[in-house]
Structure 1
Amino acid sequence: MSIYPKLILNSSPVTPQEFLTNLVQIVDEQRVRFDPADCWPYGYDNSRRHALPQWVVFALTPKEIRDIIRLCNHARVPLTPRGRGTGTTGATVPINGGLVLSLERMNRIHLVDPANRAMVVEPGVTNQEVQMAAEQRGFFWPPDPTSAAFCTVGGNLAYNSAGPRAVKYGTPRENVLGLRAVTGAGEEIRCGGYTTKGVVGYDLTRLLIGSEGTLAIITEATLKLTPLAEAKQTLRAAYRDTESAGQAVAALMSQPLTPCALEFMDRQAVTLAQAQGGATLPGGTGALLMIEVDGPAAAMEEAVTQLKKAADNAGLLEIVAAHTPQEVAQLWSARKALSPALRTLAPKKINEDVVVPVSHLPALIGGLERLAREFAITIVNFGHAGNGNIHVNLLINPDDPLEMERAGKCLERVFELVLSLNGSLSGEHGIGLEKRDFVAREIDATTLNLMGRLKAQFDPRGILNPEKTLPLKSLT
């Protein structure tokens, strides 16, 4: 029996051995894997889906990526780009086998340019490495997902992943000046530039960000940096119920001072946060807001007064400020521990990151609580309330077929609720496989057809991360 895996498509003009030989000519042999045991870890992401790729390649240069894509086009082998696999939607799972192109070794920071508030990086640099390099020069890059220590910039851009600071500073789309990439046709392109203004040509930078590696593979990014604030103040507000907290969010976001973070936790999340982070809260706390403001030190006292006034309503139980770095760290560690801690409450969680207009948050949370009762499913809600981006977690037992059936029906109703509130199915986790079949409920057929044609223009043979993001009918 041959040690070489079969090509995924029978119409391939090359044999498996010829494909492997050509692959080794592009990158050295030490950066190619084809043994199933070596390829196995690269077949999954944080969605817990898994599919075994036939090959794994570690690229180091844009030229290697270009040549690998051209080889896959010639051999008709599907290619799945991958960073560190921290995504939750199955976008890096090679469901058709083929080749996984790992970008984790393209991890250099080429330039930090304080004068122009810019940083040029490769896609395999982690978010945390970017933050550390920027901080040394008095800056930061606003996107700050919970997995910052592990996730790569390339992954952040592929999903448009943001985090708490997006409420004031925006998502990756607002914080990237330009990109270099290789399309699914094997063509090297450059989009955007090195300036904060520019209207020459179409905005391909924003198109590629959030496209989940279905159009092109990003090989370099010019990030827009922001100066570190002189001071920062963190508040914690406890409310009797989620409706009161939702009303406070709307009030906070409609006054002139924009928080740099505004996080929400419902009753279930509060209970978990107390267990994980040791937070002491008033009895009867049914919801929690964490509010952060930054700016000049001289303005902090007035800013805190203004935020406290906006956050005050009949349901407020307590609002306190963190006075030491230790108190701030404890507050945020409780919030950031929520997502992994949820896995201790049930064998599986269905994690959705829906978005609604901020004024509709009370209706969303109230509707989710009703659905939890109707379907007898535990639902834990928390997230970035300042831009209406709530992480909805359905906690389930995958070995219970009746509960799984209820969860599936509940999830459909969750999406119906979100869309009825003029919301969106995903704020920062992306679509991948998990939400692909629901996309047509949000985007009309004519628009989806146009997106399918864009995909075909960038990737005419459909080799690049196939069957992800767009409903299959839009790709025919």
Structure 2
Amino acid sequence: MTSVLEPLQRALVGVVGKERVLTDPGDRHVYGYDNSRKHHSPDAVVFALTEDEVRDIVAVCRAHKTPLIARGRGTGTAGAAVPVRGGVVLSLERMRRIITVDPDNRLMRVEPGVTNQEVQRAAAAHGFFWAPDPTSAAYCSVGGNIAVNSAGPRAVKYGTVRENTLGLRAVTGRGEAIRTGVDTTKGAVGYDLTRLLIGSEGTLAIITQATLKLTPQSTARRTLRAIYDDMHHAAAAVSRIMAQPVTPCALEFLDGAAIAMVPDFHKTLPAHTGALLLIEVDGPEAAMDEAVAAVSAAARGAGLLELAAATSAGEAQALWAVRKALSPALRTLAPNKLNEDVVVPVSRIPELVAGLAALSRRFGIPIVNFGHAGNGNIHVNMLYDSQNAQQERQARPCLSEVFDLVLRLDGTLSGEHGVGMEKRDYVARAIDAPTLALMRAIKAQFDPDAILNPDKLFPLIS
């Protein structure tokens, strides 16, 4: 650390001790990036173990007018955890207690560093689950899930973090500990600050504890695979499935290009496969046959090549393994890919798919699409090659038109990845000026010195 930063270093050591403050450049480097692969080194990294320590760390950073970026496991893809102005990264990965599991009241209290998978295991021991189930569940933290309102396939039936979090404890940019929400499934006293903090990417307050709403596990589950000759017919089938009374607990979409990313899987499909739907229904065993029949009837239609149910739990797991392997496979194939999780109304998925195909042709950039079709949340992967001068020039203009297309279809720019740095400069297209001004005013109330995760969420003011 330079001499300018030494007082800050000493103050942080005074809060947590020398062993929990990292100042060596090599140690700091690791905490300067997330899964967006953008990188800026922080000036220091500090590990908190308690809410009181978080409060004191905020007070130190406020006194030194130093940016403070809360970090979970760094699995986010939008650059929300990247310390763009340096400052202090506050790692919450060691706040890992599952405080209580209360099956009688269908809730669980956890600290932010607990992983999603650890929550699921603790809940499953009592016959419950927490609805958010992102692909990175084995590693991502609950705090990170809350920060970007992460979801996953089950959101189509069970909702996102916002629908499955009853309350929070957090420390604002003023250094004040607050409690939001209730321990009950109903509550109508005051503003809903819980939902406000969820998805705020650490710009308003630092989450120190969460009360999660648990859902009973279903007694039965069936997995179906519907194969279509092209992605337009598959998209039309999604609209039909979501318009009938049985709501799937997952409805995933893979276009032909995505399927081709997994050659061993592709070989098992009919010739001329252009798209695939992975459909899962759950509920009481007695209702399964009727539910499967209803969903299957909706899935049938123009372009259907094959509709089949997994015959065993192992076969179902294999289908899901293919879906979950896609994003890492694409990252390996195209390290410079732009991965956007746009959302449109389900009925407009066919228009989105057609528009993306047109943009891919016009800009000469391969676009691979997959994702959570049941709620219109499609992961649009632009596989440009940064070593190809033309693609490098065209990538950002193409992305800009992808966002314009989504907004014309009454959609939104992100469903679960958040805004971070990646989408910050496009937000003004989606949110009008008076609403943005109100959001900035809310930020100023929580964080008057603007130390919490600066340069995220909102377009920069020149």
The TM-score bracket by the shorter chain reads over 0.9
Which of residues 209, 215, 221 in structure 2 aligns to 1:226? Answer: 215
The equivalent of 1:11 in structure 2 is none
**Cα distance, 1:278–1:406 mapped onto 2, change above 3 Å:** closer
Contact 1:276 / 1:337 at 8 angstroms: preserved in 2?
no
2:89 equivalent to 1:100: yes
Alpha-carbon distance between aligned partners in 1 of 2:409 and 2:438, rounded to the nearest angstrom:
25
Contact 1:277 1:330 in 2 (8 A): no
Paired with 2:64 and 2:302, the residues of 1 have a C-alpha distance of 66
Could you tell me which residue of structure 2 aligns to residue 202 of structure 1?
Answer: 191
The one-character-per-residue Cα deviations of 1:337-382 (angstroms, maximum 9, x if unpaired) are 0000012332421000000000000000011011111111010000
Taking structure 1 as the reference length, what is the TM-score of the superposition?
A: 0.96
Equivalent-residue separation in structure 2 for 1:106 and 1:147 (angstroms): 19
| 1:416 and 2:427 correspond | no
Query: Contact 1:276 / 1:334 at 8 angstroms: preserved in 2?
Result: no
1:76 matched to 2:73:
no
- Residue in 1 that maps onto 2:457: 469
Residue 447 (structure 1) aligned with residue 435 (structure 2): yes
Q: What TM-score comes out, normalization by structure 2 length?
A: 0.99
Among residues 382, 392, 405, which one is paired with 2:380 in the alignment? 392
Shift of residue 401, structure 1, vs aligned partner: 3.0
Post-superposition, which runs of at least 4 consecutive aligned residues in structure 1 deviate over 6 A?
none
- Identify the match of residue 87 of structure 1 among 52, 76, 80: 76
* 289, 295, 299: which one aligns with 2:287: 299
For residue 382 of structure 1, what is the aligned residue in structure 2?
A: 370
Look up the SS of the partner of 1:16 in the other structure. Answer: helix
CA distance in 2, matches of 1:467, 1:263: 33
AA at the equivalent of 1:258? T
Count residues with an aligned counterpart: 462
The residue correspondences of 1:100-249 to structure 2 (distance < 5 A) are 100-249=89-238
Q: What secondary structure does 1:306 align onto?
A: helix
The DSSP-based 3-state class of the residue aligned with 2:239 is helix
> Which of 322, 334, 340 is residue 334 of structure 1 equivalent to?
322
How far residue 400 of structure 1 moved from its aligned partner, in angstroms, is: 2.7
* Kept in 2: contact 1:424–1:442 (CA 8 A): yes
2 CA distance for matches of 1:141 and 1:103? Answer: 20
Secondary structure of residue in 2 paired with 1:390: strand
Answer yes or no: is the 8 Å Cα contact 2:259–2:265 preserved in 1: no
CA–CA distance in 2 between the matches of 1:258 and 1:85?
33
Fraction of identical pairs, as percent? 63
* Residue aligning to 2:275: 287
Alignment-derived partner of residue 10 in structure 1 = none
Contact 1:5–1:34 under 8 Å retained in 2:
no
Question: Does 1:371 find its partner at 2:359?
Answer: yes
The farther-off stretch of 407-416 and 207-216 is 407-416
Counterpart code for 2:432: D
Q: Which amino acid aligns with 1:36?
A: P
Q: 1:412 aligns to what SS in structure 2?
A: helix
- Within 2, Cα distance between the matches of 1:460 and 1:400? 45
Structure 2 CA distance, aligned partners of 1:279 and 1:155? Answer: 37
Taking the aligned partners of 2:152 and 2:267, their CA distance within structure 1 comes to 22
What's the C-alpha RMSD, in Å, of the aligned pairs?
Answer: 1.1
- The Cα of 1:21 is off from its aligned counterpart by 1.5
Partner SS, residue 56 of structure 1:
strand
Among 350, 360, 363, the alignment partner of 2:348 is 360
Could you list the runs of 5+ residues in structure 2 that have no partner in the other structure?
Answer: none
Q: Cα distance, 1:402 vs. partner?
A: 2.2
Alpha-carbon distance in structure 1 between the residues aligned to 2:264 and 2:68: 40
| 8 Å Cα contact 2:131-2:158 kept in structure 1 | yes
Tell me, what secondary structure is at the counterpart of 2:337?
A: strand
Q: Distance in 2 between matches of 1:329 and 1:350?
A: 28
After TM superposition, give the deviation of residue 279 of structure 1 in Å: 6.4
Cα distance per residue 1:108-150 (max 9 Å; x no partner): 1000000000000000000000001100110000000000001
- Mark the runs of 5 or more structure 1 residues left unpaired by the alignment: 7-14
In 2: Cα distance, 1:314 partner to 1:203 partner: 45
Deviation of the 1:193 alpha carbon: 1.3
